[in-house]
Amino acid sequence: MVEAQFYKKLGNGKVLCHLCPRYCEIGEGQTGFCFVRKNEKGTLYALAYANPYAVHVDPIEKKPLSHFLPGTSVLSLGTAGCNLGCKYCQNWDISKARYDHERAHTFTPEDAVNAALAHGCPSIAFTYNDPVIWAEYAIAIAKLAHAHGLKTVMVTAGYITPEALPAVFDHMDAANVDLKGFTENFYRKVCLAHLEPVLQTLQTLQRRGTTWFEITNLVIPTLNDALAEAREMCMWILDHLGPDVPLHFTAFHPDYKLMQLPHTPPALLEEIRQMALALGLHYVYLGNVHTPTANNTYCPSCQALLIKRAWHQVQEIHLHGNRCPRCHETIPILAYQPPVREAMTPSGAARRSHWV
Ligand code: SF4
């Protein structure tokens, strides 16, 4: 087992984890709220290190990221556990799982980088559950990935302490931060968490300027789908982060403990999207719905079509570098440029193609 970082020993066998704002005080033999950080005889261990539950190759658009290496594949991995308690979790089979040896695979940082190289992925994403809780593993992969010319992506709820954030995000090239709602009531009752730490994370990422980030908001009927709430969220983003942060409104489907709620109506998503654009956000996308235009990227200056997408598939890219071909507006997009690099020696794990 790998000893965790981001904790301190309290004496009498207890430890305090300060990786996320839960600040779990963990007794001997117990795990924190996330299930994957365990106190064994006064030492905190990162159980999920090198033990993912899921490894796949996804389109980068599925994270979702629309302005980071568009049209490329990303090696994506996630472990058991989570530090939030969302009642609608759409990956609840792994996020609510306690770590167990039966389901976890041994997959070292070297295996992850080898698999990304073997599958032609220019980036690796830490995703599916919240990678904050397995930060040590994500950081180790990220260091090796960077040494081999790969980029890294954090798909997260942004529920991390200010003291841990730099240590993690120093190694992340991009992130999608899930802003789950815009009221403390929603965060407390539906996610068993708090809104303010997430807003702090977004502002810190913006201030640091070293990690490209986009925001996702899952619109859940009756719980966070009021136009007034979406408007308040958009205004906050404009005021605190600026108009260029891409915002993805995605459709809810009934899952986990919220099976009684309906799917999000596509018309409502489009209404929210139009409102966000009218307020001044430059890049607003829809997810989990079929739409003729709301997955595309348009120039905010002249409305030229820059990237045409169907669901998660990129069909056309019309950018000139990172400029609009019609009006030459600079577009905040990192396009893929194949690096010249030597491949690592393939390992057995890299050849486990059924995994990815
Ligand atoms: S990362 Fe896990 S153990 Fe640490 S404070 Fe958060 S929920 Fe608790």
| Cα gap 297→314, rounded to integer Å | 10
* C-alpha of residue 83 to centroid of ligand 1, in Å: 6
CB of 22 sitting under 6 A from ligand 1: yes
pLDDT of residue 251: 97
Q: How far apart are the first and last CA of the chain?
A: 25
Q: Atom of ligand 1 at shortest distance to CA of 26?
A: 3
| Cα gap 302→144, rounded to integer Å | 41
CB of 33 sitting under 6 A from ligand 1: yes
CA dihedral 92, 95, 97, 102 (to 10 degrees): 110
Structure tokens at 312: 């998660």
Best residue among 19, 95, 165 to mutate for probing ligand 1's pocket (most ligand atoms within 8 Å of CB) is 19
Q: Atom of ligand 1 at shortest distance to CA of 20?
A: 6
Each residue's pLDDT tens digit in the chain (356 positions)? Answer: 899 999 999 989 999 999 999 999 999 999 999 999 999 999 999 999 999 999 999 999 999 999 999 999 999 999 999 999 999 998 888 787 777 766 778 999 999 999 999 999 999 999 999 999 999 999 999 999 999 999 999 999 999 999 999 999 999 999 999 999 999 999 999 999 999 999 999 999 999 999 999 999 999 999 999 999 999 999 999 999 999 999 999 999 988 888 899 999 999 999 999 999 999 999 999 999 999 999 999 999 999 999 999 999 999 999 999 999 999 999 999 988 776 554 444 333 333 322 33
**Strand pairing category for 54-59 and 43-46:** unpaired
Kindly state the helix (H) or strand (E) to which residue 278 belongs, with its residue range: helix 266-279
Write the CB contacts of 197 (distance below 8 Å, at least 6 apart in sequence): 21, 158, 159, 160, 161
Measure CA 351 to chain center: 26
Task: Name the DSSP letter for residue 350.
Answer: G
CB of 172 sitting under 6 A from ligand 1: no
Dihedral angle sign, alpha carbons of residues 250, 256, 258, 260: positive
pLDDT of residue 64: 97
Nearest to 99 by CA among 55, 28, 37: 37
| Cα gap 90→188, rounded to integer Å | 18
pLDDT of residue 340: 54
Best residue among 22, 82, 137 to mutate for probing ligand 1's pocket (most ligand atoms within 8 Å of CB) is 22
Strands of the sheet containing 25-26, edge to edge, are 7-11, 14-17, 25-26
* C-alpha of residue 30 to centroid of ligand 1, in Å: 12
Whole-prediction pTM value? Answer: 0.93
pLDDT of residue 348: 35
* C-alpha of residue 78 to centroid of ligand 1, in Å: 16
CB of 31 sitting under 6 A from ligand 1: no
